[in-house]
Structure 1
Amino acid sequence: MALSSKFLLFCFLLIFISRSIAKTSFRPKALVLPVTKDGSTLQYLTQIKQRTPLVPVKLTLDLGGQFLWVVCEKEYVSSSYRFAPCHSAPCSLANAPYCFECFGTKPRPGFNGPVSMDVASIQSTDGKNPGKVVSVPKLLFVCADSFHLTDLAKGVTGMAGLGRTKISLPSLFSSAFSFKRKFAICLSSSTKANGAVFFGDGPYVMLPGVDVSKSLTYTPLILNPVTTATLTFTDLPSSDYFIEVKSIKINGHVIPMNTSLLSIDKKGFGGTKISTVHPYTVLESSIYEVFIEAFTKGLAKVPRVKPVSPFGACFNSTHIGSTRAGAAVPQIDL
């Protein structure tokens, strides 16, 4: 089942612990990255400038990503590239089990390995208007192989991790410029309207001049004590963000389900994860079945059409009306 609206705005404020160093006489209050939505993959993309001389690096935004990673196999040329030596502070910060030189490796710019450093620049902001472009001379990142780009948007050369780690971008930026350790991410459901990531304190002013920080609704974030990453350096808690969903309602009625699936078990399974990588909601199979049953009852008068993978229930949109909030479909509440 696919649901869409003309515009959807998500704003999340999240807290981090970090360490990094930036050499600049100007200390910004906050930073901002523009966010676009790729029409083919429906992934959210951003861009930073990295290396010496600076080059634009297109990245897929990963809300729960552990760190910034960039493909370094080809065309990585930078006079400011540095590696993290074995047992160094950056290596320890990343909790990496090994770094360069641990096994006699001779590093070079773009050499694939767990922890690297290079210059990166980003736009500062006062929350309303763009400010000076500032630089972090030794921003930590991970060099990766090109096969990691599989299924990512065209032109992307890495991923910008915003997860709950000490080397995610929010953590590194907050430490580098000594501003509050939080960020807000505003995402558009449209490929024609841009979003943004604000690092640091508000206000968070979006067009047409609305400070969305004054109208946010909050829900607690919970920690999954077991890592959910396919690639990780150590057995740390998950870097993803989870919320505690108690039930799911369709048109005001709670759908029957095994509610224990909504909680995180001892092995780290279950719970409700917020993700920017998957372009649609993914449900556990038994929950999905009862959800579809209840939703289709609410659209009983709308003809079904042949499902389009990966969705299991699709409807003829010409028979669906519209409201000020979007399509006239059953209301879903978590």
Structure 2
Amino acid sequence: MLFLTQLIAIFIAFISHQHEAIAQFVPGYSSVVAPVHKHTDAAKPVYSVQIMTAYVNMQFLHENLLIDLDAPFIWHDCILLWNTYAGGCPPNKLCTYPVSCEEYQCTDVRTTYSYNNPSCPPVNNGSTLPGWGYCTCPVNVVNPVTGSCGEAFLDYDEFTMNTSNGKNVFTGLYGAYPNAACAPSSSFQEFPANVTGVMALSSSPYAFPAYLNEPLKKVMAVCLPSTLSSPGVFFYGNTSYYLLPQSSVDIRSFLSYTPLVNNPDYFGYFIGLSSIVIKTRSIEIPANSTIKLSTIDPYTILRTDIFNRVVRRFSLVTKRIPPAKAVAPFGLCFNASVTGLRVPDIELNLEGGKKWSISTANSVKQVTDDVACLAFVDGGVASEPAIVIGTFQFEDNFLVFDFEKSSFGFSSSLLRKKTSCANFNFTLTN
């Protein structure tokens, strides 16, 4: 009896130890990571994140999805099959399982989280797939390159990313299982080459962040490259971030933070603006102004009254630089033959007293060999939102969205820190 009692005690101690070990288990990674590519072979510059999708012939298919901070859900080039194990999927093509029109996701997306665009017609239940007894779930999608509306079909998807500690990329993989939507290949004809979908990174519960496990879903970081030759970097996870050549310097030490501002009319992200300052002079802006952050608009858009004030002040502080004839869509251009063209910073004074400095690299766009222009455009007298920060101003700026703290972190130009968004080390390590 004593032996039996001792045996039970040892067993209980073993189980308790195992539970304690499980409770204390910490994964060997703190984030997931993917490369970000710049594309200029479309109507406007756009940026994509590279995700692994289907596992075919002992390797993952890779897909470049256009980064969209506003899209309510992911949609991409794929084919619906109700039974993927029965064959029928073309070689090197992504096939996914459909969401039925009778499932709650279908109704939820259509009624609450669909694209809000006047060009989109109402959608009805789709036809059934061969051998499947349910109707599919068509949803509207808006092409971020052209603005046109199309149709896709809601599905169950699987996306895979490499794990990381913010400095190295590990061979270990992380899988997420979002509801996305399949669209025909024809939907992406206006996209850049090799970009076959839209990666939704908005606050919608059907955007990618919502499908990540804790604590990854709490923090998103993106660093858009200014070059086509080397990728930028995209992270999920509350981690340290490192860029070469300063591989021991945590990029978070460069960041300032301002609160994210809720706007119920959009799925995207906003921050509060108190003033715009150019060479110590403040530009008049409406009280309680907010800035929309956009990865679709290539340049900062200002409502006409704000645009005119910015251009007037910028013209005054750059009067020593020879002017040039304006090149659309810009309103103020310079003779770029001037050696070492440099202009004063444009300072965005944000909520919480933080300052985002837009330096020459992010304020002046080289249009031709002889002409450079202020990379701000006139949005019109009724532009809403009144201020939209575009991707040219994001390039080589490290941006962090902290959803747990509802804050936005920004570095200003990394070029002033002797690094860039193209300096993350993507070499795989075990």
Bucket of the pairwise TM-score, normalised by the shorter protein: 0.7 to 0.9
Instruction: Check 1:104–1:67 CA distance in 2 against 1; reply closer, same or farther (3 A cut).
Output: closer
Q: Relative to total residues, which structure has the larger strand share, 1 or 2? A: 2
Moved more, 73-82 or 281-290: 73-82
Report sequence identity in percent: 28
CA distance in 1, matches of 2:28, 2:101: 31
Which residue in the other structure is 2:342 paired with? 328
| 2:329 alignment counterpart | 310
Structure 1 CA distance for aligned equivalents of residues 238 and 335 of structure 2: 44
59 and 164 in structure 1: CA distance in 2 versus 1, 3 angstrom threshold? same
Q: Check 1:289–1:37 CA distance in 2 against 1; reply closer, same or farther (3 A cut).
A: same
Name 2:219's counterpart in structure 1: 182
Structure number with greater CO (CA < 8 Å, separation at least 6) is 1
Which whole-Å CA distance do the structure 2 matches of 1:50 and 1:201 have between them? Answer: 24
Aligned-residue offset at 1:76: 7.2
1:294 counterpart residue number: 313
1:56 aligns with 2:62: yes
Greater C-alpha Rg: 2
- Whether contact under 8 Å (2:166, 2:239) holds in the other structure is yes
2:200 to 161, 164, 188: 161
Q: Which residue of 1 aligns with 2:370?
A: none
Alpha-carbon displacement from aligned partner over 1:38-80 (angstroms, at most 9, x marks no partner): 2444311221121352422121111232222103479974686
* Map of 1:47 onto structure 2: 50
Matched, 1:132 2:135: no
Q: Secondary structure at the match of 1:170?
A: helix
* Cα distance between partner residues in 1 of 2:100 and 2:52: 24
Out of 62, 76, 95, the residue aligned to residue 70 of structure 1 is 76
- C-alpha distance in 2 between matches for 1:83 and 1:307: 50
C-alpha RMSD of the superposition: 3.2
1:67–1:141: 8 Å Cα contact kept in structure 2?
A: yes
Superposition deviation, residue 135 in structure 1:
4.9
More helix by share: 2
**Which one of the candidate residues 64, 77, 81 is aligned to 2:96?**
81
Contact 2:72 2:206 in 1 (8 A): yes
Deviations 1:114-145 (A, max 9, x none): 42113322111121211134253743212235
- The change in CA–CA distance for 1:80 and 1:317 in structure 2 (over 3 A counts) is closer
CA deviation vs aligned residue, 1:164-209 (integer Å, no higher than 9, x gap): 111212221236xx53522111223333443111111211122221
Equivalent AA in structure 1 for residue 30 of structure 2: K
Task: Show the 5 A alignment for 1:248-287.
Answer: 248-257=276-285, 259-260=286-287, 263=289, 271-287=290-306
Contact 2:137 2:154 in 1 (8 A): no
Q: Report the Cα distance in structure 1 between the residues aligned to 2:189 and 2:284, rounded to whole angstroms.
A: 38
CA separation in 2, counterparts of 1:113 and 1:172?
20
Deviation larger for 138-147 or 107-116: 107-116
Bigger mean CA offset, 304-313 vs 113-122: 113-122
Q: State the match for 1:30 in structure 2.
A: 31
Match of 2:233 in 1: 196
* Offset at residue 216 of structure 1 (A): 1.4
From the superposition, tell whether residues 167 and 76 of structure 1 become closer, same or farther in structure 2 (CA, over 3 Å).
farther
Q: What is the aligned partner in structure 2 of residue 120 from structure 1?
A: 159
SS in 2 for 1:158: strand
SS of match in other structure, 1:293: helix
Q: How far apart are the structure 2 equivalents of 1:79 and 1:248?
A: 47
Residue 241 of structure 1 aligns to which amino acid in structure 2?
Y
CA separation in 1, counterparts of 2:333 and 2:89?
Answer: 45
Aligned to 1:244: 272
* Counterpart in the other structure of 1:223: 262
Deviations 1:79-103 (A, max 9, x none): 86211224536446x533499xx84
- Distance in 1, matches of 2:67 and 2:253, equals 25
Match of 1:11 in 2: none
Provide the aligned length of Structure 1 versus Structure 2.
279
1:79 and 1:277, CA in 2 relative to 1: closer, same or farther beyond 3 A?
closer
Structure 2 SS opposite 1:297:
helix
Residues 46 and 295 of structure 2 are in contact (CA less than 8 Å); yes or no, is this contact kept in structure 1?
yes
Unaligned runs of 5+ in 2: 1-26, 81-87, 115-123, 131-135, 139-150, 349-430
Q: Is the 8 A contact 1:70 1:142 kept in 2?
A: yes
Kindly indicate whether the alpha-carbon contact (under 8 Å) linking 1:302 and 1:320 is maintained by their aligned counterparts in 2. no
For 1:173, the aligned partner's letter is L
